Amino acid sequence: MPSDLLQAHLQHTAISSPECSYAQLLPLDPARALDLADAYFTAYPPGMAAASRAEAREEMASTFTQEYGKVLENASFMAVRKGKAVGAIMVVAESIWEEQLSGPFIIDLFTAPAHQGHQLGRSLIAAAMLACKEQGARTLSLRVGEGTSPAAHRLYAQAGFLPIP
């Protein structure tokens, strides 16, 4: 199994409260796709996720049409501040890239740079982990790609994600 895969064992992980005073955590909403695409585009260094805003919009549309897997609506959330989506966590039922993995898989977690530093990522991860656990999932997995920031690595480690042996 690739070494860039991480997994949290939900039954054995203390999950922090998903409460966030900076923004509302709401179910992922396709009607907010443009806001989400803008946040997604700005959240990554140039060329790491989408090369343009148009490409970010296409990727967001692909997410909502299930091209990256069946989105778990009750485990995928967005952070909304002052009426605008500024971050999200998107969880699918299974990874379409790693057939040997079973269970929910985070396909993306992002926060627009202007809204980083307010615990949004931590709150989004906690909300997804809690939702998956309540639905009976034993694990939640993700892949850290090239360019994943040191802050993101720390966040995943603090949330209980470990490399899959």
pLDDT in tens, 22-31: 999 999 999 9
What global pTM score does this model have?
0.93
pLDDT in tens, 142-162: 998 776 788 888 999 999 999
CA separation, residue 117 to residues 19, 80, 150 (Å): 15, 15, 14
CATH class as words, domain 5-163: alpha beta
Contact 84, 35 (CB under 8 A): yes
Three-state secondary structure call for residue 32? helix
pLDDT in tens, 83-94: 999 999 999 999
Residue 57 identity (one-letter amino acid): R
